[in-house]
Structure 1
Amino acid sequence: MRLSRSMLSLAAVAALTAGSTAVLASPASAAPNTTPQKVCGSSYKTVNSAAVGSLGTVYLTYNATNGRNCVATIRKSPGTAVDMSAWEYVADTDQGDSDYGTYTSYAGPTSVYGKAHCVDWGGSIKNVYVSVYGSNCAALREHRVTTVR
């Protein structure tokens, strides 16, 4: 499933970059009690989160063993497939990962090496978009933006 979702993500990003509209119909199927650890893996601990309006939450997780971050956007009430996304970017290393598609329960996981680096991350459900910039940077203050389109 991960390979398929990665390929769909890559196709979606390429289509959006070219100005096309991508239609992805490979919904994730997860129980209503999905957690970031079920999406990212049990060794990932939640280090930050942001509400996506009243629709769900986007989670930033971290695995201390391998130094990788993972982002998952999880719906509060799974159901009919809707547009969703999860993304993260580490500016210091110019590395990022994203998952955009039409899903029933969650978007993600994404994975980027982030040990000792600031992380930009976010996600969306339907028309609500959340972005967090400069996150987990020790004494620096992060900047959160929520947009409804």
Structure 2
Amino acid sequence: MHTRAAVLNDLPTLTALLDGYRQFYGQQSDVAAARHFLEQRFGLGDSFILVSEDDKGDMTGFVQLYPGLSTVGLNSRWTLNDLFVAPQARGQGAGRELMNAASALAREHGVPRLVLMTQVENSAAQRLYESLGWQRNTAFYSYLLDVA
């Protein structure tokens, strides 16, 4: 298993993974919209996307990070917004490799903190995060507001 930065040629496979990720979170499959979303990310360069590959070179998962700022910390803070491993590749270390690669990329860019949110019932992801030293935030609540 190894990780690398996603490139435009990854778009077909990455699109399928993103569509699977969205379905995992209860969204209807929409391959065209997933592709368009990724094309925007590549075009705008507003996120970092890393992919994992198995020994045969098949893409097994991805992680996506969005740069942001912390007013309190007066520094950068990236949001690890997406982590997904294809169902057939789970349990083989891809998620751990992607998380480690995300941390390494942040360090390379001088980013002192990564943040993420996960569903309360996603215990598998929580075990992974905690095994890598991530700490659950108990100081702040998360709120959402739909404005559309």
TM over 0.5: no
Pick the structure with greater CA Rg.
2
Q: What is the TM-score normalised by the length of structure 1?
A: 0.29
Which structure features the higher share of strand residues? 1
Q: What is the TM-score normalised by the length of structure 2?
A: 0.29
Which structure features the higher share of helix residues? 2
